Structure 1
Amino acid sequence: MVERNGSKNHNQTFDVSIDQQRDSKHFDDDGRVKRTGTAWTASAHVITAVIGSGVLSLAWAIAQLGWIAGPIVMILFAWVTYYTSILLCECYRNGDPINGKRNYTYMDAVHSNLGGIQVQLCGLVQYLNLVGVAIGYTIASAISMMAIERSNCFHRSGGKDPCHMNSNIYMISFGLVQIVFSQIPDFDQLWWLSILAAVMSFTYSTIGLGLGIGKVIEHKKIDGTMTGVDDVTKPQKIWGSLQALGDIAFAYSYSMILIEIQDTVKAPPPTEAKTMKKATIISVVVTTFFYMLCGCFGYAAFGNSSPGNLLTGFGFYNPFWLLDIANAAIVIHLIGAYQVYCQPLYAFVENYTSKRFPDSDFVNKIIKVPIPGFRAYELNLFRLVWRTIFVILTTLVSMLLPFFNDIVGLLGALGFWPLTVYFPVEMYIIQKRIPKWSSKWICLQLLSVACLIISIASAVGSIAGIILDLKVYKPFKTVY
């Protein structure tokens, strides 16, 4: 009897002997249904996760840092993300890259390589960050839906109506959609949503880029300064610069789901690590190219007054329908990105609960629901109830804290060092048996310490921004 767990749906079983599993074309070496992912599907998952709402705050981030520091910081974050992701790819299997034991999740990799309290710390940071991303994406989707409604309202009234509105109804709408999509059992069945979301991310990024270029051409000048925002007090400049670091870190954060994505890849040949490295370089190059274009042209268009959300800076730009398309693409993308980020959390809770209550029908029983023209849907009552509650709770928190830029910066700061740098570096050192105090060991530790300092500094800046926001914000009542 083979149980599908980890990133797979743990409730499905197959009556297949061990010998049949090893010989069958339908099963991998661990007895699970054969993985079918490629470098391109893995790239789609990564791009869906990476080119998210974070791209919209990059012009603002560059405005805080200026023309010199802004692009340099973006390239440095891209390099660190790529390098540590390559280290993390090596940790999918223990020891032998072909026959070594698989680690199905990020936490499994930490457990196999580091063990002890670090496993609990990793889980706490990873899953809190995933919850935070869900909240951030709910806020971002509401901003885009409001932008569409305000644009249409403005044109209907000929500019006479200020078109103020409350974000709550839009967050609730996004939450209702997520309740439906959250019932997709696992990553393997999410590939089509990832590809659609990746296409949408390119759509709105391209529109934002095009509008930025258009505005630069219209003004016949490149706006901005070498040092960025300069009409603020020194403390405000510091807080803004630190928050910008968090925003850029958030824009590149996907390491927390890299192992889960790698677990969808078929192999060998080549090994999963080689395929994932290819997917990583494709994804980081593509996203950095888009980030540099969107961030730099956005800053060139708006200068030091660059908005926190690039697309809202164009106001009621004509043709207004183009901005509506861009904002609709953001919403569609965030629907997929929300699911890509939440699947590891869903799998963790469901696997833990299944092991804790192995005899519970509520937790483990699969009910086949026939769908005319399609394969029967496998309904699990626990999955239905707990995922619905999770979406409702993240929606409620989003309604309480709709501060897009500050939340994005804080999430980036909290997740960047531990998940993108510290754990990949430490696991790689163990995996490759790198001697302590060797030159490579020292370089890796210096990289980790430098990133820790950056994470702490950017977290402080984002917390300061949230405190300032809370002074003027009224929960559930603030209108825009």
Structure 2
Amino acid sequence: MGDAYTSASTLELAAAHDGFHKNLDDDGREKRTGTFVTASAHIITAVIGSGVLSLAWAIAQLGWVAGPAVLMAFSFITYFTSTLLADSYRSPHPVSGNRNYTYMDVVRANLGGKKVQLCGIAQYVNLVGVTIGYTITASISMVAVKKSNCYHWEGHEASCKVSKYPYMMIFAAIQIVLSQIPDFHKLSWLSILAAVMSFAYSSIGLGLSIAKVVIGHAAHTNLTGVQVGIDVSAQDKVWRTFQAIGDIAFAYAYSTVLIEIQDTLKSYPPENKVMKKASLAGVSTTTIFYVLCGCVGYAAFGNEAPGNFLTGFGFYEPFWLIDFANVCIAVHLIGAYQVFCQPLFGFFEIKCRERWPQSRFITAEHIVNLPFYGEYYVNMFRVVWRTAYVIVTALIAMIFPFFNSFLGLIGAGSFYPLTVYFPIEMYIARAKIQRFSFTWVWLKILSWVCLVVSLVAAIGSVQGLLADVKKYKPFQTE
């Protein structure tokens, strides 16, 4: 009897042990459930920002020849370097090697040295800048809904002044709640919703542009874009060209969160193969929308294309459709904010756990039963620090509402190292490419060209930033 009881207990323990291991990956971490669909959704959410609606302005600065050519060039560069980065997720072998959970881990495993710190600075400064910029942009979309209704009922010449600050607070309150999602692995549903929203407002902007062209309201366009002496001065033409190239280059950059996205994928099929397919799907989808929205938008508005033809009121009617599109932009940015801040949250929390492993405040997880959800693990440090982060980014957005001008500069500092330099250097090191071989030379040329583009974009961003500072009035109602 005792032996039978012992055997039964042993079997139960073994079964429980097997069940426990079924919920873990090969390295003892929680089993990942990400798929091609969820990775594609994360990429589309990260890449297709509300900036897609400003591409008509970018094409207007470059013209019919250079505009689409620059769009296509950066789509190819982004996809190519993303495939190199995807192969670096595991090391030393891209399939059987050890996992690298963050971009910094990848650089540490393949390059090491001070380049790890350079990567961390470029990545996390960019993430902070993007979250502040999204707070501003989302509030602009919310304000556009209010103004759209005002213009509809009071006429297009009405002042319709609306403050964006209450909407920044609403956006921050939503982010405080969503920021309690424990990690990137629990974010798939939000990314899928955000990706659907990005398709919705991009399609609305595209449809309205097509309608304007079809009914014969197309505007004046040029092969070389805005004309010197007619639309702009020669100096403004140069600055705008720099800014347009920068806008397009950074509109494709999602390398900041690529490794974190790849770390959500199941271990089989191999993560690098799935990630390459997801990158192809994400970049291809993005490019189609970018070319259509940029080119058709330019055809509709010509050289006077607004910076954003939904929030900048390139269209006024039908007002209800403009309202819906701007709501979609706000919802998309709610999800995109989380895609960009979750890697930052994870990095800071891991560092704190390593620094103070004995602190119950930092390490303890408390179980709370939530209606319609079940067990939810609450960590007090996570609640306090993430809430504080969202509040601080919202305050910075309120104090410096022209912070979007900083994003071009921050992007210039992150696009080259994160999207181009590190993926290429890690591939050269991993594949042991000989110096001055054909492959080494053309990879270096690609890297240097992208460095020049980043520097050009940085110059244009600084000029735009100085112009914003000159006309800055704190807490002004628009």
Give the TM-score taking structure 1 as reference length: 0.93
1:250–1:411 contact (8 Å) kept in structure 2: no
CA offsets 1:390-429 (integer angstroms, 9 cap, x no match): 1111112212333376344334322210110001111111
Which residue in 2 is equivalent to 1:60?
Answer: 57
C-alpha displacement at 1:192, in angstroms?
Answer: 0.3
State the alpha-carbon separation in 2 of the partners of residues 291 and 186 from structure 1: 30
| Counterpart pick for 1:49 among 38, 46, 50 | 46
Partner of 1:31 in structure 2?
Answer: 28
Per the alignment, residue 178 of structure 2 pairs with 181
Q: Of 100, 111, 119, which residue of structure 2 is paired with 1:103?
A: 100
**Greater shift after overlay, 331-340 or 371-380?**
371-380
Q: How large is the Cα RMSD of the aligned pairs?
A: 1.9
Aligned counterparts, 1:179-258, within 5 A: 179-219=176-216, 221=218, 223-230=220-227, 231-258=231-258
Distance in 2, Cα, partners of 1:165 & 1:373: 38
Which amino acid in structure 2 is aligned with residue 320 of structure 1?
A: F
SS in 2 for 1:426: helix
Q: Which residue of 1 aligns with 2:76?
A: 79
Contact 2:309/2:315 (<8 A) preserved: no
CA offsets, 1:269-327, max 9 Å, x none?
x3111000000000000000000001111111111111111213445622100000000
Number of aligned positions between the proteins: 462
Deviation at 1:441?
A: 1.1
Partner of residue 91 from structure 2, selected from 73, 89, 94: 94
Aligned partners of 2:91 and 2:99 also within 8 Å: yes
2:458 corresponding residue in structure 1: 459
Q: Secondary structure at the match of 1:282?
A: helix
Aligned partner letter, 1:171: M
Give the letter for the 2:417 counterpart.
Answer: P
Report the equivalent of 1:7. none
Inter-partner Cα distance in structure 1 for 2:104 and 2:193 = 28
User: What letter is aligned with 2:379?
Assistant: N
Gaps of 5+ in 2: 1-12
* Structure 2 match to 1:260: 260
Gaps of 5+ in 1: 1-15
**Letter of the structure 2 residue corresponding to residue 206 of structure 1:** S
The residue that corresponds to 1:145 in the other structure is 142
Aligned-partner Cα distance in 2 for 1:441–1:407:
34
Of 210-219 and 119-128, more deviation after overlay is shown by 210-219
Matched with 1:168 is 165
Distance 1:403 1:305, change over 3 A: farther
- Rounded to whole Å, the distance in 1 between the matches of 2:214 and 2:426 is 49
2:246/2:408 contact within 8 Å kept? yes
Moved more, 143-152 or 391-400: 391-400
Deviation at 1:262, TM superposition (A): 0.5
More deviation in 217-226 or 91-100? 217-226
Please report how far the alpha carbon of residue 82 of structure 1 lies from its aligned counterpart in structure 2 after TM superposition: 0.4
* 1:352-388 alpha-carbon deviations (Å, 9 max, x no partner): 0000000001111111121123222211111111111
- The structural deviation recorded for 1:223 is 3.6
Tell whether the 8 Å contact from 1:145 to 1:328 is kept in structure 2 after alignment: yes
Kept in 1: contact 2:57–2:307 (CA 8 A) = yes
Give the structure 2 partner of residue 347 of structure 1.
346
- Once the two structures are superposed, the pairs formed by residues 384-395 of structure 1 within 5 Å of their partners are 384-395=383-394
Tell me whether 1:443 sits opposite 2:442 in the alignment.
yes
| Corresponding position of 2:433 | 434
Larger Rg: 2
**Alignment-derived partner of residue 361 in structure 1:** 360
Q: Does the CA contact (< 8 Å) of 1:246 and 1:410 recur in 2?
A: no
Distance 1:315 1:240, change over 3 A: closer
CA offset digits 1:207-242 (Å, max 9, x no partner): 000011111112254642111122212221111111
Partner of 2:6: none
* AA matched with 2:430: Q
How many Å separate the matches in 2 of 1:53 and 1:31? 39
